[in-house]
Amino acid sequence: MIRIRSPQDLGAGLLFLAIGGAGVLIGQDLAFGTARRMGPGFFPTIISALIMLIGVLVALRGIAIAGPPLERTPVRPLVMVLLSVLALGLLLTEIGLFPAALVFVLVAAHARRRPAIVETLVFGLLMTAAIVALFIFGLSKPLPLFGGA
Amino acid sequence: MEMLDHLVTGFSAALTLQNVLFCLLGCLLGTLIGVLPGIGPIPTIALLLPITFGMDPLTAMIMLAGIYYGAQYGGSTTSILVNMPGEASSVITCIDGHQMAKQGRAGPALATAALGSLFAGCVGTLFIAAFAPPLSAFAQKFNSPDYFSLMVLGLVMAVVLAHGSVIKAVAMVLIGILLGLVGTDVNTGLARYTLGISGLWDGIEFLPIVLGMFGIVEVIRNLEKPAGERITISTKFRDLWPTRKDFREAWPAAVRGTALGSILGILPGGGAVLASFASYTMEKRLAKDPSRFGKGAIEGVAGPESANNAAAQTSFIPLLTLGLPSNAVMALIMGGLVIHGMQPGAAMMTAKPDLFWALVASMFIGNVMLVVINLPMLGIWVRLLGAPYRFMYPTILMLCVVGVYATTAEPFQIVMMVIFAAFGYVLLKFGCEPVPLVLGFILGPLMEVNLRRSLQISRGDPTIFFDRPISATLLAIAAGMILLAVLPSFRRTREEAFKE
């Protein structure tokens, strides 16, 4: 049984391997050409191969040499923050800046445990007003306030 | 003196009431966004850049200068007050700056940083005015192989100066290059790595990467910390002005830092970081009592702050002479200039000297404006940073979304930002520092073009990079840097320097 001495390095190594591997694989569809006449696949394939090489080295190092353990990864902030941003971005054009911003503030507030709902709502309204003022009136950006674009 | 004449012309073009007002606005907005914890100069400038798009070129340039200095100063303010560096070059300021703040001397620390930056910024600008024109003549000797080698050197520097593992930083640079190549190949018009997604035909946008990997990831990481460890601000904020003793101790350090920074800033790939580290080390060596460092020594603020500002200023030189951005911020500025029809490079200097001198003049105006506007407003920034994080983080997230959307008007780019936030988060958990990735992303396409041209010239023979004297010299320096980075003694100092 192989003991993992540095999970951070092993993780990084495997991630690099995957990225480099994908780069080489997708690059197969592109003409490689020769050094004299580089095809569109030439440079990216070489770069991807190098990423894979480093991936192998780092992964091996993760097995051989001790390193720091993985940090603990609380799910709530990660998921709620990403979700709120995604929601705001996708709803912006569907239901308008104002309601989208409210949805966003409510979801983002849950990145913390037990947010105060009233405070969040009041703050959300204030912030929405500020952003609306800045972008629609200040910079005349074509963002719909209510409703789809 | 010819330079003086040029400067007068530049100032007379730049100094109108409208321009000065926009410069002021730029400084204010730059500082306002820049002081938000975790938002360094890169995302700040990225967010504010679109504001200048509709303006006439000169006004846009001056406002850009204001934003640039505001963003940097905002970063220093956050470092000193809450010990949260927005970027690597402010890490050093945290050490003694935050100690000063803890002792209730935040005012003098901030004022010293501002005055040191003003001095360094002005000297750095003079440096540009004096050296950019002759250097641009030299830059015209640069050919594709030389450009390629220069970019290699820039990336090597970025790797050597990154936090943590050198080999992971190399991987970050390479992944950045690969990401930069996504999109339509300039040579054949073929779509590369787009996975059939039409939103990727023009390549991956810069803003979603930067705001996702730096802005959003920073918010998540802050929320992860238990409540007690989160940013706390020293409420003691007595007087603003440094004492006479402070001045006496600070000004030689500022002068030395400026000299060091002006020279190191010209180097491609992270001159500002190198400059602030070098300055701190030098001040510690020169001090009569080195034990004061780390406990709130004012030289430890004055030196590195001046050094990184001087370097930030002279890092315009590679951009203006070679058309090559040496760091992510310069790439943003270059993007801003190009939109207004100014392609930085040796050609701009000869074809549009008026614009060059107006740019130099706006740098002076921006520097002065920053101090004029910021010193009286320090109290406001301090109070702003005192706001609870539960109000701050939704504001930061919202700015990221609206910033991306306002520039591109495509919801797809917001999805990209979320993807890069997730990617950046995973990278950090695996101990990879994402800053080198950004430089790789910017330089990747340029490297490919120059590699292709070089190999066409040499008919596929790679020795062309060693035959040309400029290229060979640059590669030799890059090799030397790698050797240094692997040497155990340098590694130890590097690790010590990065210990926060």
DSSP string, B100-119: HHHTT-HHHHHHHHHHHHHH
Contact B456 A77 (CB under 8 A): no
DSSP state for residue B458 in the 8-state scheme:
T
Contact B402 A131 (CB under 8 A): yes
Q: pLDDT-based confidence at B196, cuts 50/70/90? A: confident
- Predicted pLDDT at A56: 95
Contact B192 A44 (CB under 8 A): yes
**Which helix or strand (DSSP H or E) is residue B330 part of?**
helix B328-339
Instruction: State mean pLDDT over B432-458.
Output: 88
Residue A119 has pLDDT above 90, yes or no: no
User: What region does B164 belong to: left with phi over 0, alpha with psi -120 to 50, or beta?
Assistant: left
Instruction: Compute the distance between CA of residue B271 and CA of residue B265 in angstroms, rounded to an integer.
Output: 4
Contact B178 A19 (CB under 8 A): yes
Q: Does A4 contact chain B (CB < 8 Å)?
A: no
Question: Regarding predicted confidence, which is higher, B148 or B434?
Answer: B148
What does the mean pLDDT of chain B come to?
83
Q: Which of B222-236, B345-359, B400-414 has the lowest mean pLDDT?
A: B222-236
Closest residue, chain A, to B422 (C-alpha): A82
Q: Which of B170, B187, B397 to mutate to test the interface with A (most CBs of A within 10 A)?
A: B397
Three-class secondary structure assignment of chain A: CCCCCCHHHHHHHHHHHHHHHHHHHHHCCCCCECCCCECCCHHHHHHHHHHHHHHHHHHHHHHHCCCCCCCCCCHHHHHHHHHHHHHHHHHHHHHCHHHHHHHHHHHHHCCCCCCCHHHHHHHHHHHHHHHHHHHHHHCCCCCCCCCCC
Contact B429 A105 (CB under 8 A): no
Q: Which of B167, B190, B223 sits opposite A111 (nearest CB)?
A: B223
- Predicted pLDDT at A142: 62
Residue B368 has pLDDT above 80, yes or no: yes
Instruction: State mean pLDDT over B35-60.
Output: 81
According to the per-residue pLDDT averaged within each range, which of B136-140, B227-231, B308-312 is highest? Answer: B308-312
Q: Does A26 contact chain B (CB < 8 Å)?
A: yes
- Predicted pLDDT at B229: 45
Q: What is the pLDDT of residues B402-422, one digit of tens each?
A: 778 777 778 899 999 999 999
Q: pLDDT-based confidence at B346, cuts 50/70/90? A: confident
According to the per-residue pLDDT averaged within each range, which of A22-26, B187-191, B247-251 is highest? Answer: A22-26
Quick count: other Cβ atoms within 10 Å of Cβ B142? 21
Q: Which residues touch A5 (CB under 8 Å, ≥6 apart)?
A: A62, A63, A64, A65, A66, A67
What does the mean pLDDT of chain A come to?
85
Quote helix, strand, coil % in chain B, to nearest 5: 80, 0, 20
According to the per-residue pLDDT averaged within each range, which of B55-59, B116-120, B271-275, B488-492 is highest? Answer: B116-120
Tokens at residue B472, please?
């060979």
Closest residue, chain B, to A47 (C-alpha): B174
Instruction: State mean pLDDT over A113-131.
Output: 82
Q: Which backbone phi and psi does B184 adopt, to 5 degrees? A: -75, 130
Enumerate the H helices of B386-410 as residue ranges.
389-408
Instruction: Compute the distance between CA of residue B3 and CA of residue A108 in angstroms, rounded to an integer.
Output: 54
Residue B238 has pLDDT above 70, yes or no: no
Query: What angle (nearest 5°) sits at the alpha carbon of residue B318, between those of residues B58 and B135?
Result: 95
Q: Which of B374, B362, B387 is nearest to B231 (CA)?
A: B387
**Encoded amino acid at B226, one letter:** P
Q: Where are the beta strands (DSSP E) in B318-366?
A: none
Q: Are B464 and B458 in contact (CB under 8 A)?
A: yes
Instruction: State mean pLDDT over B303-329.
Output: 86
Q: Are A65 and A12 in contact (CB under 8 A)?
A: no
Domain ranges of chain B: 2-498
Q: pLDDT-based confidence at B101, cuts 50/70/90? A: confident
- Predicted pLDDT at B500: 40
Residue B10 has pLDDT above 90, yes or no: no
Instruction: Compute the distance between CA of residue B363 and CA of residue B367 in angstroms, rounded to an integer.
Output: 6
Instruction: Compute the distance between CA of residue A44 and CA of residue A23 in angstroms, rounded to an integer.
Output: 7
Residue B143: exposure state from Cβ atoms within 10 A (0-12, 13-18, ≥19): middle
**Encoded amino acid at B220, one letter:** I
Contacts of A127 in chain B (CB under 8 A): 394-395, 398
**Which helix or strand (DSSP H or E) is residue B344 part of?**
none
Q: pLDDT-based confidence at B356, cuts 50/70/90? A: confident
Instruction: State mean pLDDT over B157-185.
Output: 87
Domain ranges of chain A: 7-64, 75-138
Contact A115 B390 (CB under 8 A): yes
Q: pLDDT-based confidence at A137, cuts 50/70/90? A: low
Q: Which of A61, A88, A139 sits opposite B401 (nearest CB)?
A: A88
Instruction: Compute the distance between CA of residue A55 and CA of residue B174 in angstroms, rounded to an integer.
Output: 11
- Predicted pLDDT at A149: 56
Q: What is the pLDDT of residues A41-71, one digit of tens each?
A: 999 999 999 999 999 999 999 888 888 888 8
Contacts of A38 in chain B (CB under 8 A): 187, 448, 451-452, 455
